[in-house]
Structure 1
Amino acid sequence: MSKTALVTGGSRGIGAAISVALKAAGYTVAACYAGNDDAAGKFKEKTGIPVYKWDVSDYDSCVEGINTVEADLGPIDVLVNNAGITRDGMFHKMSHEQWQAVINTNLNGLFNMTRPIWEGMRERGFGRVINISSINGQKGQMGQVNYSASKAGDIGFTRALAQEGAAKGITVNAICPGYIGTEMVRAIPQEVLDKRIIPQIPVGRLGEPEEIARCVVFLASDDAGFITGSTISANGGQFFS
Structure 2
Amino acid sequence: MNLQEKVVLVTGASRGIGAAIAKKFAAEGAFVIINYLKNKTLADLVVKEIEANGGQAAAIQADVQVEEQVANMITQIGDSFGTIDVVINNALSHYTFNPKTRKTAWNISWEDYNSQWEGNVHGAYNVCRAVMPYMKEQTHGRIINIVTNLMELPVIPYHDYTTSKMALLGFTRNLAKELGVFGITVNAIAPGLTYPTDSSSETQESVRESIIHMTPMGRLAKPEDIAGSALFLASDLAAFITGQCIYVDGGLVMR
TM bucket normalised to smaller: over 0.9
Matches within 5 A, 1:1-241: 2-48=5-51, 49-85=57-93, 86=95, 88-140=102-154, 142-184=156-198, 185-194=200-209, 196-241=210-255
Shift of 1:61: 1.4
Which amino acid is the alignment partner of residue 132 of structure 1? I
3-state SS of paired residue (1:79): strand
Distance 1:35 1:143, change over 3 A: farther
TM-score by length of 1: 0.92
Aligned length: 240
Structure 2: gaps spanning 5 or more residues: 52-56, 97-101
Shift of 1:135: 0.6
Percent pairwise identity: 35
Aligned mates of 1:92, 1:38 — CA distance in 2: 40
Aligned mates of 1:76, 1:236 — CA distance in 2: 31
Shift of 1:134: 0.6
Which amino acid is the alignment partner of residue 81 of structure 1? N
Shift of 1:237: 1.1
TM-score by length of 2: 0.87
Aligned mates of 1:197, 1:141 — CA distance in 2: 8
Aligned mates of 1:71, 1:91 — CA distance in 2: 47
Aligned mates of 2:137, 2:43 — CA distance in 1: 32
Aligned 8 A contact 2:14 2:43 in 1: yes
3-state SS of paired residue (2:169): helix
Which amino acid is the alignment partner of residue 44 of structure 1? V
RMSD between superposed Cα atoms in Å: 1.8
